[in-house]
Amino acid sequence: MISNWLYQQAMDIDTNNLIGYSLGAIVLYASYRYVYNVYFHPAAKFPGPRFASFSNLWYAYQWSTGKYPWAVAEALKKYGDVVRVALNELVFITPKAFTDIYDSHTAGLEHFPKTNFMDLGLGDSGLSWEKNPEKHREKAKKVAPAFSVKALRAKEPTMNKYTDAFVERMKDLGSRDEGIDLKTWTDWIAMDASADLAYSRELHHLQDMKSTSFLDEFPFKLLFVPPSIITSHGKVVEMNQKALDSRIERRGAVGHLDHFEQLLPAFAPEPTKEEKKNLEVTVGHLVVAGYEPIASQILCTIMFSLFEPDALKLLVGEIRSNLERYDDINAESLGSLKFLHASLMETLRMTVLQSSGQPRMSPGAEVDGNYIARGVEVQYGFLAFTRDARYFHDGKSYRPQRWLPRDHPNWDPKFKNDATEHFHPFSLGPRSCVGMPLAWRQTRLFVAKVLWSFDIEMLSNQNVTMENGFRMYGMWKKPNFWVRFHPVSREA
């Protein structure tokens, strides 16, 4: 009897009251979260966009548009040198903040470790994603021999193989009335060279003059993702796995030295399943790290130079006056070309590689005099720094002269106060890019050989700037850029 009565009472409870109680609880919790995030969160004392103080909407929206680096630059200009861009994330711009975040370390272990920003939950972090400082140090040591001076000299013929193939293609196709899309062709050469240098995989983009599934399915939004993970395309997964298996089987029998040789030497035992997964992820990192930055660098050095005829004239003049024959062009002969180096540095400044922010986790330490609580994420406004008038004169323009030594005849005193010593395109500290020497060697070879061989003509009506033509989604989404290649006549 009593149980029936209780059941009846329960059934008679007003459903509207239950809904009201639930909504009230939700509102109460949301109010609590709002008050805490806006007034009491460790990042609350720093200014920033209003939405960033109580949600991640501002951060997410700017990323979705591809304009995140520019939005950060505007926020830093408006709010000051430290800006809250998300609930638990701060952006800095001063040179001191950069060294505090990225270069502070003890015994090779960084004080500000990586965040979950690029963690896709794959189980194996390879090299680029590894958050644990000790594990990263060990993995970096294992890969480092691939980029020694001796190793790079042995790999230079592979770099030349693809640059020379590009030059030959342009002799045949580059002067056509319709021109060629330099963005597509630089993607092809960079991916061909990177895959071959990484694990002796030949993709034949330049040879076949079309993109493979490997490149077509490669989403620019996911930087450093191994091909077998980033796509559900069965053909790509199968092709990548077969290529890796083939490289393992060919240990000691490949035609040239590649990075894989340092990961799994010929004398090493057959890798376990776990070791094979690590190889797959690490090779994926090396392929992408050798593709996207190189493709952007060689495309944009030529593109920006064409928009600045005076800079192009100086660059071409230096290359052609110092190199009598095509065969004279090599890493050693290019090392002394100051304007070539300056042009590549200026391209790195304009298209700064770390424009995604490179977030790190504060251990509870000071960043440029500001104490940042443990667990708060911090990052740097790389693009903002390169455009800030305090650090670079005429920062939105392509001006290679700013990187010349002061005793160079083309050095311009307008740039005497530029903070060139604080620009580190390959970062600093334990996480600095191990592939920097290869990148310099490869980009110098390409730009020098191409500009020695051709006068490049930009097709009309192409007003491309970083602001209107580029978007950042972890990698740069670059515009198409149409040009003609006219072989230089060198009659005896």
Q: State how far the Cα of 197 lies from the Cα of 467, in Å rounded to an integer.
A: 33
Nearest Cα neighbor of 301 from 461, 478, 424, 97 is 478
Full residue range of the structural domain in which residue 259 is found: 126-352+426-487
Domain count, the chain: 1
Percent of the chain past pLDDT 90, that is, above it, reads 63
Are the C-beta atoms of 70 and 91 separated by less than 8 Å?
no
Q: What is the pLDDT of residues 67-79, one digit of tens each?
A: 999 999 999 999 9
Are the C-beta atoms of 351 and 342 separated by less than 8 Å?
no
- CA-CA distances (angstroms) from residue 442 to 114, 145, 337, 431, 449? 28, 17, 15, 21, 11
In a domain, 383, yes or no: no
In a domain, 287, yes or no: yes
In a domain, 59, yes or no: no
In a domain, 81, yes or no: no
Q: What is the pLDDT of residues 401-438, one digit of tens each?
A: 999 999 999 999 999 999 999 999 999 988 899 999 99
Q: What is the pLDDT of residues 69-123, one digit of tens each?
A: 999 999 999 999 999 999 999 999 999 999 999 998 887 788 998 888 766 555 5
Q: How confident is the model at residue 228 (pLDDT cuts 50, 70, 90)?
A: very low
Predicted confidence at residue 65, as pLDDT, reads: 92
In a domain, 439, yes or no: yes
In a domain, 140, yes or no: yes
In a domain, 246, yes or no: yes
Q: How confident is the model at residue 279 (pLDDT cuts 50, 70, 90)?
A: confident
- Whether residue 205 has pLDDT greater than 60: yes
Residue 300 counted as an annotated binding residue: no
Give the CATH number, domain containing residue 472: 1.10.630.10
Q: For helices 57-65 and 68-79, give the axis angle rounded to 10 degrees.
A: 130
Give Cα 97 distance to the centre of its chain: 20
Q: What sign has the CA pseudo-torsion 107, 108, 112, 114? A: negative
Are the C-beta atoms of 274 and 329 separated by less than 8 Å?
no
In a domain, 396, yes or no: no
Write the burial class of residue 141 (CB in 10 Å: 0-12 exposed, 13-18 middle, 19+ buried). Answer: exposed
Predicted confidence at residue 231, as pLDDT, reads: 45
- Whether residue 222 has pLDDT greater than 50: no
Cβ neighbours of 270 (radius 10 Å): 10
Question: The pTM is what?
Answer: 0.90
